A and B are shown apart, each in its own frame.
Chain A
Amino acid sequence: MKNKILRSILILLPAVMVAVTTYAREDHRAYRELKLPECAECHTGSGIPPSHGGGWQKEHRIPAGGPNRNCYDCHDQGTCQDCHKGGGISTKLSASQWKRDVKPESHRSDWVSIHPIQASSNPQQCSRCHEPQFCANCHGRLDVASLTIRDHAKSGGTQAYIASFPNQHAAEARRNLASCQACHPDGNVCLTCHSAKIGVRVNPHPKDFKADRIQTRSNNRSCRVCHDF
């Protein structure tokens, strides 16, 4: 795989380097005070669609990550940090808060209750702003019986249902493994069944699991939890 990546890079880079035409980025600093709909006056017919539309919250990740981004023509890094890390120096009146951190607009009404629905949609979405510990700080304090995790609820907040119907537990865990991590950050409860050292030793790995890079580059760090070396 390493060779494949290197080959891909070696093919792509010369393609860029032998470019025949250079298109300099448009400097938007002169337009930073405009209201968003006013941007359409230039963008109409320019061949570049107006950005910052209804889906911008999801869309902006890609233009913001490009090496030719022009975000800083209008924004400073505070715009990133205010949304991603709860900063509030320029807080709009519409912005709500969670304790001292400002919440982004996507965190609607009773977000504490609604967030499990949203967290299931693209499970990697939450980790763009939150460390795993953020989830564990709250979930570690909750009464398990009060949760509506399907497996736990069916057995009154215990793990008895998981033992009786392991396939359903597996399907749910695979769809949103981050929700397991939220309450069990170190995963010790998983080891009851999934360790290679003790218990029933159920293999949790995907069928085409590639362990070699995880082993070598992370110094067997997570492997040692379940395996002897």
Chain B
Amino acid sequence: MRRKKWLPPICLLLLFLAPGLSLAADLRFQSSTQYLWYTDPFKDKDQSDLVQYLKFNVTKLEPTGRVSAVGYGRLSGQFGSGNDPKLGDDDGLLGRLYFLYVNYALPSDRGDIRLGRQYVSVGAGAGTVDGVSAQLRDLGPVHTTVFAGYDVRFAETTDRTRPGNYLAGVSVGGSFLKGNNVDVSYLRKYDEDDVIREMVGVHADQRILDKAKAYADLRYDVLHGTYSEFLAGAKFFPFESPMTFTAEYFASYPTFDADTIYTAFAVTRYREAVGRVDYIVTPRLTLYGSYTRADYDGPTADVGTVGVRATPKQVPGLGLNASTDLRSGYPGDLTGFQASVDYAFGKTALAAGISYDVFQRDSMASDFTAKKVWGGGSYAFRKNMTARLRVEDTQTRQFKNEFQGRASVDLSF
């Protein structure tokens, strides 16, 4: 299959020219020019990239205002020698087109029809396609999503779209009792015209007395004749204050695309039970905690997380985040915490954070410690122009100090 190397650059060119071509319409765009520097762990040397992002949204392309166009992409180039194309260190410019599509909004907010590159998602799976999608709402009690197109697979250096690689899906669902949602979905993925993934998704949820919600979700792998993922859970919110208790059971049978021999190999099921509490004490203080019991068809693991988010009333502009994680069991242990603080005043914003993790990857391996500290700030020169700087130093298993940073100028019009 011959790869259309010219297609991504042309699309990116259109994306970058689009704002200038549509001066008559209502145009908004966002740009970020970034200089990145970091340590390449394989080469043990410093690298740097120059990256240009652009996102635009054009509305009022015609009198009814139903047609709009949106796009988002980036161009990047790397400085330095010894590039390795396999790792994405290609010479010259690299492009990545995230989405670029025309949207037609149906009357009465009944849905949207999109044509172009776009992110698509149904219960049976998700992906990016160069194609068409339609989301139709409130057709009686029914909502539906349907899409089809070339399957876009993002690689290290660019996004790959090849003839014979397709992705198609459909989802139909609705509410048929008070507080009820049901949907059934189907997804099919092709590689070189062969079906390599065929999934059916089923989801149902039901609110109970405005105090609880029960839900179940299944992904069934048609090619392998087995379920791939199953989730059943319930959320309870019995109090006037927003405190939510969540209990979930999840089981996974990892299946592989049928273009690899791993598709035919035996695997074991992974199962986990989760209990979680989210408590919004006040709009300025949120607490959360969870416990997970994981089962690897024999070996087990216990995982716990506790965290807090706060914006103290006494110091306007101040935000605090902290969480701690504990993991013990198969395949390894981890004890760590993360904390960050951000403070905005006038046109300036400052932020800093720290992470500290002690981990053992395997019972046969030694303990390692990783520390990360970062800091940054931004300054809004104008309402639509902001400069940002971020630096980070991580002590990793490989390096005593692994520096990285990002300096950017962001514009929006």
Contact = CB atoms under 8 A, between A and B. Distances in A.
Contacts of A3: none
Contact of B258 (A37, A132, A217): A217
B266 A110 contact: no
A223 interface: yes
Residue among B265, B404, B406 with max Cβ neighbours from chain A (10 Å): B265
A198 interface: no
Interface in A45-64: 45-50, 53-55, 62, 64
A109 B371 contact: yes
B34 A93 contact: no
A12 interface: yes
Residue among B32, B213, B406 with max Cβ neighbours from chain A (10 Å): B406
B384 interface: no
B390 to A, nearest CB: 5
Given A9-B184, A44-B240, A110 B357 contact: yes
A136 B30 CA distance: 34
A160 B7 CA distance: 47
A201 to B, nearest CB: 14
Interface in B175-226: 175-179, 181-185, 194-196, 198, 200-203, 207, 210-211, 213, 215, 217, 220, 222-226
Nearest to A131: B153
Contact of A88 (B53, B70, B176, B330): B53
Interface string B246-257: 100010101010
Contacts of A15: 176, 182
Nearest to A217: B195
Chain B contact residues: helix, strand, loop or mixed: strand
A21 B264 contact: no
Residue among A77, A96, A178, A186 with max Cβ neighbours from chain B (10 Å): A77
B176 A18 contact: yes
A21 B177 contact: yes
A173 B226 CA distance: 19
Nearest to A36: B286
Contacts of A148: 361-362, 364-365
B12 to A, nearest CB: 14
A141 B84 CA distance: 11
Given A15-B182, A171-B298, A206-B267, A117 B327 contact: yes
B53 A87 contact: yes
Nearest to A221: B194
Interface stretch (B17-25, B59-67, B336-344): B336-344
Contacts of A5: 200, 220, 222
A19 interface: yes
A178 B175 contact: no
A228 interface: no
The 8 closest A-B pairs by CB, nearest first: A54-B288, A47-B210, A19-B141, A110-B370, A53-B278, A19-B176, A210-B225, A89-B53
Nearest to B321: A94
B59 to A, nearest CB: 13
A109 B305 CA distance: 16
Interface string A66-99: 1111000000111011001101111101101101
A116 B70 contact: no
A65 B126 contact: yes
Contacts of A96: 372, 374, 392, 404
Contact of A121 (B109, B272, B340, B362): B272
